[in-house]
Amino acid sequence: MSRRVSLAAVLVALLVGGSAVLAPRALAQQPASEGVVRGSVTMASAGATFEGAVEVELIILEGAQATGSVKAFVVSGKYEVSVPASATRTYVPRVTYQRVNYFGDPVRFTGTERAATRDFTIHATTDQANVLTLIQTIVTVVGLDRGTGEMGVLREDVVAVTGDRTYTGGASGVTLRLPAPEGATEATEEEGSATFANGVLSVTTPIRPGEATSIITSYLVKYDPARDRYRLRVTVPIPAQSVVARVPREFARGIRAVAPAEQVDDQVLKDDARTVLHVVRTPASIEAGQSLLVDIDGVGGTIQHHPLTEQPGASIAAVAVTVAIAAAGALIWRRRAVPA
């Protein structure tokens, strides 16, 4: 999976639109209480050169709050910027190039050291969708409320690009359009960079070269509990090597593939509750626009408790489905091979 900075403080920093931008001062004028962050920015895409000016930005965090930023231009592949070496401050380095963010490790000046090096390797971008490969799609039912007829569904699409350029989706910035399950009333993406309209979740996460990237999305689905059966449709936007649907045994009497036909395989995964899952997977790769159809029986019966639900009989709120991503992370089998 692509390396990401997951600090909540960084997310806060990115949401601050009115933060002050502080101009760096010449290093020779800085007192001993100031530090220096320096490094290099290297283009890794063969035959590509930097297009336009490249900036390094240090996002300033006081505790968990963003209070400003300091910017420095990259000259001949190098940058250097001086900042106050306050022990209460954290600096998060970021390069944004062609709409793609690259984060460096946070910098804190807590000891006597007053210099830190943060190097960046960046890639050129492409809008050619044919570089995308969908390695696997895994859909897991993570919550069920038979009383209200609501279901929480978690989807992971493991994607990669061939070549050495980042796929950014062109002018629209949309990199994947994921058809939602039938009856979906809400849909979100883990990084919050998606929009949901007309039954499709449009994701704008850049797909970087190198390791595979996991796009994790969640859905709140409304179904009719009087029917006692729900047909889960998992549709892929591009050709997929494998599609998997998984349902905790406590949620259903059974599941079975409608198309393409495939045998149910029960698994016991070693999470804290040793959850038993009904698993259906496609026997072979499927083409763009095709679906794995799975019938889930028993969704209209009396609700049973399961570790991934809040309370028996409790409604599954959209926020609860989102929070379930963390709880369900241990349940997701992730294949990380990148095509040659």
Q: What is the pLDDT of residues 117-168, one digit of tens each?
A: 999 999 999 999 999 999 999 999 999 999 899 999 999 999 999 999 999 9
Q: What is the mean pLDDT of the chain?
A: 81
| 42-50 average pLDDT score | 96
d(CA 83, CA 107): 11
Range with the poorest average pLDDT among 85-99, 267-281, 296-310, 325-339: 325-339
pLDDT tier at 302, thresholds 50, 70, 90: low
On whether the CB atoms of residues 156 and 332 are closer than 8 A, the answer is yes
Which structural domains are found in the chain, ordered by start?
A: 8-122 (2.60.40.10), 129-331 (2.60.40)
- Cβ atoms of 138 and 155 within 8 Å: the answer is yes
Element (H, E) at 15: helix 8-15
Q: Do the Cβ atoms of 187 and 196 come closer than 8 Å?
A: yes
Give the tokens for residue 181: 């399950």
Is pLDDT above 50 for 45?
A: yes
Give the span between the Cα atoms of 305 and 254, in whole angstroms: 17
